[in-house]
Amino acid sequence: MPDEAVVTPLPIHLRVRHGLRHPGNWLELVRFGAVGASGYVVNLATFTVAVHALDVDYRVAAVLAFLVGVINNFWWNRHWTFGASEGHAGFQAARFLTVSVGAFLFSFGILQALVSWADLAEVPAQAVAIVAATPLNFLGNKLWSFKG
């Protein structure tokens, strides 16, 4: 039996550093931002309607807005941002949802802190919380959900 070369993946910090040097990754970041902007609008619109028109508690509204936004973002990121339509959609969806839930939990903590401790109004607090979670979301999806 011939010796087989064992390939070990680079540690995450080296993968990130290496990835920053490739122009295609910056284009993906721009597309991710565009998809994120559409998801941001979808999320905030859903959140605002739920809180103000339907009188839903802001925490429940955040979960509802997340669910609506994640469907929008998965489709666009899979087909346009990362061009990963040839991968297995089920695996990608599970990974995307895992990353999105992690980013959502991070943003949910920020939302609660801004509303409860900083006395910020719910909609601006939601807007800030989403922006704060965006880098986690991009890195998780780039390096895991849709990796080539």
Is residue 84 over pLDDT 80? no
pLDDT tens digit string along 89-107?
Answer: 888 899 999 999 999 999 9
Q: Which amino acid is present at 111?
A: L
Least confident of 1-10, 41-50, 125-134: 1-10
Tell me, what's the pLDDT at 113?
A: 98
CA–CA separation, 50 and 133 (whole Å):
21
6-12 average pLDDT score: 77
Band of the pLDDT at 17, cuts 50, 70, 90?
A: confident
- With H, G, I as helix, E, B as strand and everything else as coil, classify residue 82: coil
pTM higher than the cut 0.85: no
Each residue of 100-135: pLDDT tens digit?
Answer: 999 999 999 999 999 999 999 999 999 999 999 988
Using DSSP's 3-state secondary structure scheme, residue 130 falls into helix
Closest Cα partner for 91 from 145, 142, 13, 28?
A: 145
Mean pLDDT over all residues of the chain?
A: 89
Half-sphere exposure of 93 (CA within 13 A, CB side): 6
Q: Domain locations in the chain?
A: 19-145
* Average pLDDT over every residue of 45-53: 98
Helices (H), the chain: 12-19, 23-48, 58-76, 89-116, 122-140
Q: Which tokens in the block code for residue 79?
A: 């087909």
Q: Which of 1, 12, 105 has the alpha carbon at shortest distance from 63?
A: 105
